[in-house]
Structure 1
């Protein structure tokens, strides 16, 4: 192809275009009709007017090492990425990693104006003309033969070098654009990853390519043993240290220059590259700004702040978190500020701000937490650095951290002052009030009871502890505020109490603490004994109380949990011929084996073999976090068109519609602490089939539902937090099937029991009864707090006797002092 346009290219950092001068000169010496382009990847703007040109142009004043017009020098701006996107990439990695990530962006730019681009690592030198690599993709193998088993190093070498790639714009079965996109995506992923994987091996598997097996191409320290100097066309000096010229590369001893002196003359050609820092190694006084200029010097030697490896890791963690799709949180993700925006103050402020409520409370910040995470010695010495910012860790940061790279501006700040409670009756209700999960709903129920009782209160919302495991889509209550009152009601289970108190110490500081706990087994294991964080435990059923009470050093009481009043879904029984709809709803995070959806499916299919006048809807959440359990359910239902799986969160309107189109609710659980979904279905007037075990047995009776008999069985392995040798119910699926048939075949009885269930809950689970109970118990808690914190009352006789005696009658005064001491101890 006589008019074929070819460009060689490379990317450098730190030394500017001079760093690529040896490669550029050697390439053009043997290919005078080609173009050569150097990307200075850590400079945003080389010269006004170069960005956005349709074709690269040489930048005046920065090509002094090249013949005029022979080499084009580009800056990062010329790659076409938005400034903030590129500068975030630059923040993530070392100079070498940035060069790798910028390479496909440069090749993409050059393919707009050239038929073929030969991209080379900057440590390469061309010694003879290279072949015409033609169309499509050409890769160079690192080895042509297996490594000899001679005990020398390296002992392992990868498949293809990433310091050579030739990409043509056309090819019969090669999609140039798709390859360059893949290359760019993979190098960006490597930049963000903790352990880069490289791109060449996967490219070879995914794209048609040509393998250049010419032994003169791709010569490098790892393959000198199988190559000859006389035939070398292209050599890669990666790993060669000009300060140690007697070694081909560090940690390579398979070919020693003393044993192969013919290679020594070749290695004398290795370029001595400048050792200047990258512009992206510092920020502030020097470095690159998004305004198209450089802050200070262009060689990175100014007096700016050094970007440490820990800063990069913390930044990458935040970028990864922002990029990860979260079906539980659809709110827009906020990207962290990069250090090259203005003077870098926003980046500093971000690093020194807390990432979690617990960090905020303790005086910790993102950067210090990153330092702690990165060092096994610090994690061993200070296992709980968030405990009011462990004084030992604080001392280490001040004494040694500065010497080990922690900037003085990132040192710990004093922990946030914890406000004492006001001396007034009221309660702080703390919990997951916005989370769409059972414990969040129970907390909202209790909060509604507090409001119904007219008790002064504030709502303390914790979202951080459930992030990633539950959607927080419920609107926050109007009473949200800081902890204020002397009593705190913590509406999370025992094992979540400590994280909540760490995240917001004011919830517990100087207050009477009540934990609202649920548990689902008759055995309450030692791993759940978190009694040290509470003064009193409230449980959601007598079943739970009986499990907890024998182990508790503090009082344990059962709250008469009310059920929110709902209108019945229908006023009349199901019409003749109308399809009977059964419903079950659960959260995979609540343990599928306990919720037992496959028991519901089995009972349904046993009850109605071949019948088409019935349907079953199983609504679930968080299936994506429990693939094995979810797949088991999907395959059980795949061949039954009567069964529908709804695997997502539903809005209030959608959920109401789901109840309205159902006639019965079936819960064949192995145990429930309370059974909110069962109670909710009863309140809506649905017929209910429920295992006669756990909290539901306290309100589902034969008069208002279909309790299902059971036997007891061991939990077994693999269902934490439940201990494998504990026991729970195994519902009788044949009995459940009979109950479902009765509901389908006798719509009048199903409707009667459904309405009876609703009336039963209205009588026994009212908000008025719960409100009266709560007011009594919270008043008692407040009086206990007062007794703890109020100085003892001195009888008037003692005070009067001291005034009358004055300084005289020493023995009598001494006796009175002893009386006062006894009173103080009381």
Structure 2
């Protein structure tokens, strides 16, 4: 079955059928974990290393952090196994799933994939590989409640690592297995911004993956705040959108709205790390009026690059949104009412950011930063 057909089938299937599929697959190819295994070396870091998503970047950061700690890690590419596009060239040699599956004996396996992709990766590695190894799921979720397929996956891990206290607190309500908040180890960039709005124009940026729920990423709120805050010529807003084909109709409508708004542009596709650094440094403010984030990787990257950050004051990004460069936008928690997608029927809340408050923050930043250049 092709990747697109599999995704379509999964989205169209009821939760009971999805659970039956995962349960049957794991019964054949995986092992339930009843006691926390000892683990140890070698370490297998499994991730979609040929993909540009935030979850894949988290796997790369995790692997690099292991090296910095002096730990030897085998990097196992699961891009194809978890049905993600190959849109990056790997920076180093990687093991295939077949290569790793042949490596028997003790060890620790860290799988950077959310359920149900986690179950797919687990089953591709197979029972014999998993025997005598400690299995850790590195999961990123964005809400306070988890769908059934996530709870099913808990039977197949010895422990779970997550990037934020927000996610850890939510997951601990579902399991007694060890849950550890292990933030993404974002390195200090080579360069950091020091001048802002030098020509009197405040440049804003929002980077997001359209496949990570358009409703959750909420780019329309950022556009609305920008339009309310500035007169034409006072500011610019760039949306860097990857995986725009995940929701082509929504993207087309949003693109039309951006084209009709002076000072707004859209960039698409994947960028190499050096190009991403240049993108951050060309802007002054990072504007993310999301409804929820499991961590908020691009928010932290923007802060590290010296940008002012205007972001919704709730969920995973609040672990690190401190200091004078971080501007938390007030919000109200509301029920998630999605008719389709991963959050359907989960009974959770997320944030509705106060667009008018974000507007005032942007105006104040424009006044402050342009005055500093006078």
Per the normalisation by structure 1, the TM-score is: 0.39
Query: Does structure 2 retain, via aligned residues, the 8 Å contact 1:459–1:477?
Result: no
Alignment of 1:392-407 (within 5 A): none
CA positional deviation for 1:619:
0.9
The aligned counterpart of 2:194 is 571
The aligned counterpart of 1:744 is 366
Q: Is 1:437 matched up with 2:60?
A: no
Task: Report Cα offsets for 1:438-470 as digits up to 9, x if no partner.
Answer: 110111111111111111221111121344x43
Q: Is 1:472 matched up with 2:91?
A: no
CA positional deviation for 1:748:
7.3
Q: Secondary structure at the match of 2:88?
A: coil
The aligned counterpart of 1:28 is none
CA positional deviation for 1:657:
2.5
Q: Is 1:612 matched up with 2:233?
A: yes
CA positional deviation for 1:703:
2.9
Of 567, 590, 595, 2:217 maps to: 595
**Structure 2: how far apart are the matches of 1:478 and 1:590?**
28
Alignment of 1:152-163 (within 5 A): none
Of 85, 109, 112, 1:488 maps to: 109
Of 171, 180, 184, 1:561 maps to: 184
Q: Is 1:509 matched up with 2:131?
A: yes
Gaps of 5+ in 1: 1-316, 325-379, 390-422, 752-826
The aligned counterpart of 1:631 is 252
**Structure 2: how far apart are the matches of 1:711 and 1:495?**
30
**Structure 1: how far apart are the matches of 2:69 and 2:371?**
37
Q: Secondary structure at the match of 1:707?
A: strand
CA positional deviation for 1:488:
1.1
The aligned counterpart of 2:66 is 450
**Structure 1: how far apart are the matches of 2:207 and 2:147?**
27
Residues 642/574 of structure 1: CA separation in 2 closer, same or farther (3 Å cut): closer
**Structure 2: how far apart are the matches of 1:612 and 1:630?**
25
Moved more, 565-574 or 598-607: 565-574
Residues 677/385 of structure 1: CA separation in 2 closer, same or farther (3 Å cut): closer
Query: Does structure 1 retain, via aligned residues, the 8 Å contact 2:29–2:124?
Result: no
Gaps of 5+ in 2: 5-20, 31-38
The aligned counterpart of 1:526 is 148
Greater strand content? 2
Query: Does structure 1 retain, via aligned residues, the 8 Å contact 2:136–2:158?
Result: yes
Residues 649/456 of structure 1: CA separation in 2 closer, same or farther (3 Å cut): closer
The aligned counterpart of 1:682 is 303
Q: Is 1:387 matched up with 2:8?
A: no
Task: Report Cα offsets for 1:394-439 as digits up to 9, x if no partner.
Answer: xxxxxxxxxxxxxxxxxxxxxxxxxxxxx96331111212211011
Q: Secondary structure at the match of 2:81?
A: helix
The aligned counterpart of 1:703 is 324
**Structure 2: how far apart are the matches of 1:523 and 1:533?**
19
Q: Secondary structure at the match of 1:465?
A: coil
CA positional deviation for 1:476:
4.9
Q: Secondary structure at the match of 2:260?
A: coil
Query: Does structure 2 retain, via aligned residues, the 8 Å contact 1:687–1:750?
Result: no
Alignment of 1:52-131 (within 5 A): none
**Structure 2: how far apart are the matches of 1:596 and 1:551?**
28
Q: Which of structures 1 and 2 has the bigger CA Rg?
A: 1
Query: Does structure 2 retain, via aligned residues, the 8 Å contact 1:602–1:733?
Result: yes
**Structure 1: how far apart are the matches of 2:371 and 2:116?**
43
Task: Report Cα offsets for 1:622-666 as digits up to 9, x if no partner.
Answer: 222202321231232231131001122223343233222111111
Q: CA RMSD in A?
A: 2.9
**Structure 2: how far apart are the matches of 1:534 and 1:601?**
41
CA positional deviation for 1:717:
2.3
Residues 750/497 of structure 1: CA separation in 2 closer, same or farther (3 Å cut): farther
Query: Does structure 1 retain, via aligned residues, the 8 Å contact 2:82–2:120?
Result: no
Per the normalisation by structure 2, the TM-score is: 0.83
RCO higher in 1 or 2 (8 Å CA, sep ≥ 6)? 2
CA positional deviation for 1:496:
1.9
Q: Secondary structure at the match of 2:359?
A: helix
Query: Does structure 1 retain, via aligned residues, the 8 Å contact 2:330–2:357?
Result: yes
CA positional deviation for 1:494:
3.4
**Structure 1: how far apart are the matches of 2:350 and 2:372?**
28
Residues 502/715 of structure 1: CA separation in 2 closer, same or farther (3 Å cut): same
Alignment of 1:296-445 (within 5 A): 384=25, 387=28, 425-445=41-61
**Structure 2: how far apart are the matches of 1:384 and 1:572?**
55
Residues 489/647 of structure 1: CA separation in 2 closer, same or farther (3 Å cut): same
CA positional deviation for 1:561:
3.0
Of 266, 275, 278, 1:654 maps to: 275
Moved over 6 A (4+): 748-751
Of 461, 486, 499, 2:120 maps to: 499
Residues 437/749 of structure 1: CA separation in 2 closer, same or farther (3 Å cut): farther
Q: Is 1:663 matched up with 2:284?
A: yes
**Structure 2: how far apart are the matches of 1:676 and 1:539?**
13
CA positional deviation for 1:745:
1.7
**Structure 2: how far apart are the matches of 1:479 and 1:605?**
46
CA positional deviation for 1:712:
1.1
**Structure 1: how far apart are the matches of 2:73 and 2:26?**
32
Q: Is 1:716 matched up with 2:357?
A: no
Q: Secondary structure at the match of 2:170?
A: helix
The aligned counterpart of 1:236 is none
The aligned counterpart of 1:141 is none
Q: Secondary structure at the match of 1:455?
A: coil
